[in-house]
């Protein structure tokens, strides 16, 4: 047996011994403790489990060669698959196995690259919100019959934040940053400000950013189901007219460089 294999064998044995001892100690502690103490122990166990999961994830990423072109392609495929599966089944309904299968991998690839479904979802949210938030509702011209998966994925972000109050903070920060970025670009376009300058958008700019985001997301949903009455093109025209009225301008897209639903 090689030195590396011997070390690995010894390490595995040590981990099994520690796990067995910990399990026995936990059972004894829970049986001896009262109800309130047991709740506190379980909370400590939950935190310890999270820490252990992080350690396993980091080790898995190192072994998988995280950061290499091949690893980045794997991550990209998993993120794309996650977006489409979550759009189809919702966050709660989409399993790690579903996502892995859609990407052409095993569940181990998801855990090695992201650690958990929740962390995969957070990374997906970060990537979707990294650009123009109003672009999430734009239809994909290469697959017009496809689900508006970006729109649905962003809706799942809002639903997740509502349902998971203990872990919503990161998503809220990302969504707020995306709205602030849109308000900044609206301010720059409307005022003719130099894009290199950092100025403070007005409340009206923030209000318009809110309205444009809402209109584009809802427009994406409406355009995907009203195929018999004009579909995405008709909804896109409606969105543009509404934004024109909100800005009190005859042609909003000449004032603002913000991409609206269905624009080129």
- Provide the phi-psi class of 129: left if phi over 0, else alpha when psi is between -120 and 50, else beta: alpha
Highest mean pLDDT among 17-26, 203-212, 214-223: 203-212
**Structure confidence at residue 250 (pLDDT):** 39
Mean pLDDT of the chain: 74
Evaluate if residue 256 carries a pLDDT over 70: no
Mean pLDDT throughout 228-246? 76
pLDDT at 51: 54
Q: Would the pLDDT of 116 be above 80?
A: yes
- The count of domains in the chain is 1
Determine the average pLDDT of the residues in 78-104: 93
pLDDT digits (tens, 9 = 90+) for 92-111: 999 999 999 999 999 999 99
**Has residue 200 been placed in a domain?**
yes
Model confidence at 255, in pLDDT bands (50, 70, 90)?
Answer: very low
Which structure tokens are listed for 146? 């496809």
State the DSSP code for 67.
T
Rounded CA-CA distance 83/123 in Å is 11
Residue 120 has pLDDT above 90, yes or no: yes
pLDDT at residue 89 tops 80 = yes
Q: What is the mean pLDDT of residues 76-83?
A: 93
Closest CA to 218 of 142, 172, 158, 173: 158
Q: Is there a domain that residue 88 lies in?
A: no
91 within a domain of the structure (yes/no): no
Q: Is residue 254 part of a domain?
A: yes
Cβ-in-10-Å burial (0-12, 13-18, 19+) of 18 comes to exposed
Structural domain of 213 = 129-264
Q: Does 259 map to a domain?
A: yes
pLDDT tens-digit series, residues 125-157: 988 888 777 666 555 544 544 567 888 888 888
Within a domain: 42: no
In a domain, 201, yes or no: yes
d(C-alpha 226, C-alpha 234), whole Å: 9
CA atoms within 13 A on the CB side of 170: 12
Residue 183 lies in a domain: yes
Query: Which pLDDT belongs to residue 264?
Result: 33
Asked if 66 contacts 114 with a C-beta cutoff of 8 angstroms, the reply is: no
Radius of gyration of the chain (CA): 24
């Amino acid at each position: 047996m090689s030195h590396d294999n011997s070390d690995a064998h010894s390490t595995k044995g040590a981990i099994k011994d520690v796990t067995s001892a910990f399990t026995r100690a936990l059972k004894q502690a829970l049986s001896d403790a009262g109800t309130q103490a047991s709740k506190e122990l379980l909370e400590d166990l939950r935190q310890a489990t999270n820490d252990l999961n992080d350690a396993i994830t980091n080790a898995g990423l190192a072994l998988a060669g995280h950061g290499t072109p091949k690893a980045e392609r794997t991550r990209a495929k998993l993120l794309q698959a996650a977006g489409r599966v979550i759009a189809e089944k919702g966050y709660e309904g989409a399993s790690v196995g579903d996502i892995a299968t859609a990407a052409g991998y095993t569940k181990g690839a998801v855990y090695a690259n992201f650690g958990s479904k929740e962390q995969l979802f957070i990374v997906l949210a970060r990537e979707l919100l990294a650009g123009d938030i109003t672009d999430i509702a734009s239809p994909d011209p290469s697959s017009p019959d496809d689900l508006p998966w970006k729109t649905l994925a962003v809706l799942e972000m809002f639903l997740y934040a509502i349902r998971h109050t203990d872990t919503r903070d990161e998503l809220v920060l990302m969504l707020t940053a995306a709205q602030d970025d849109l308000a900044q670009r609206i301010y720059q376009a409307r005022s003719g400000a130099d894009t290199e300058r950092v100025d403070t958008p007005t409340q009206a700019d923030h209000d318009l950013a809110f309205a444009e985001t809402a209109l584009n997301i809802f427009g994406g949903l409406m355009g995907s189901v009203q195929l018999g009455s004009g579909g995405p093109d008709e909804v896109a025209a409606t969105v543009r007219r509404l934004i024109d009225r909100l800005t009190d301008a005859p042609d909003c897209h000449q004032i603002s460089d913000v991409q609206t639903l269905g624009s080129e």
